[in-house]
Amino acid sequence: MRIVIFSLYTIYSMYKMIKAIVYQKKEITKHISNLICTLLTLSLCFEVYKIFVALFGPKLDKFFEANNNEGIRQILLQLTLFMLIMGIFLISNKIYENELEVRSMTDSLTGLFNRNAFDQLAKMKISKAERNNMKLGLAICDIDHFKRVNDSYGHSIGDKILVEFSNLIKNNLRIEDLLGRYGGEEFTILILEMEESNMILKLEEIRKEIEKNIFLINSKNININASFGGIVFNPNDMDIKKAFNIADNALYKAKELGRNKVIVQSI
C-alpha cells in the first residue's frame, strides 16, 4: 500500500511538471522540452508499473527483491537516470549558450545593446517601417564634457554616471523603441512612427530630464548635460547610413552652438 500511495503521488507530480513544460515551451528549446517530457513520461510509466506489480504481482518483502521482473525494472531505472543526466547537461549547455549570446549583444557596463546588436536590431525595425511606410526617428546623444567628469571624479564614478544616464534615457522611451551604447559616452536611439515635431519634443523632454537630474554617486551630487542630434526619415527614401551621418552632423552642430541642445535636421 505504501508503494501504491507513494507512486500515485509521484505520478501526480510528474503530470504537473509535464503540463508546466508543455505550457512554457517558449521558455526552453523544443528538443530540450521534448527530452524532459520523455524522461518524465518514462518515469511515470515506471511508477504505474510499480503499482501494477505491488497490487497484482507476487507478495513482496522488498519491491526490488530479485525476481523475474528485476531485469525490466533495472533497465527502466538506468535509462531514466541516463536521460535525466543528459537532460540536465543539455539544459545547462543551452543556458550557457544563451548567456553567451546575450553577452555578445549587450554592453557590459550599461546593459544596453552594443553597437553591433543595435545595428542588427535596427535593420529589423527598418524592414518593418519600410513595409508599413512609417517614418523613423534616429538620434545620437553625447554627454557634454564627459572627460571632465572622469578627470574630476575618476573613471569608476564616470562609469556609474553612464549607467544611471542610460537608465534615465531608457525610462523615457517606449518598450518598442531601440536604445544602444555606441561607444564611450555616445548613445543611439531609434524611435518608430515619429514625426519631426514630435521628435524634437521627445528629445527635449529627455534633455531636460538629464539637465535637472542630480546624479548621487558615492555621496557626491553631480550634474551633467547632454547634446542630441537627430533626424526623422522614411527608410523607403533614405538608407540608415545616410541618416546616421545627418544625425551625427546635427549632434556636431548642437555642440558648436554651446552644448546641452537638441538639433533635429530637416530633410
Beta-carbon neighbour count of residue 55 at 10 Å?
10
C-alpha cell at 112: 544596453
Q: Are strands 178-183 and 186-192 parallel, antiparallel or unpaired?
A: antiparallel
Q: How far is CA 111 from CA 56, 108, 163, 166, in A?
A: 61, 6, 8, 9
Greatest pairwise CA separation for the chain in angstroms: 94
Q: In what order do the strands lie in the sheet with 178-183?
A: 178-183, 186-192, 136-143, 226-233, 262-265
Q: Where are the alpha helices (DSSP H) in the chain?
A: 2-23, 30-56, 70-105, 115-132, 146-153, 155-171, 196-212, 240-256
Our measurement of the distance from residue 25's CA atom to the centroid of its chain's CA atoms, rounded to an integer in Å, reads 17
Q: Which of 27, 164, 185, 209 is catalytic?
A: 185
Determine phi and psi for 197, rounding to 5 degrees: -65, -40
130 is catalytic: no
Q: Are 173 and 187 in contact (CB under 8 A)?
A: no
Determine phi and psi for 38, rounding to 5 degrees: -65, -45
Known catalytic residues are 185
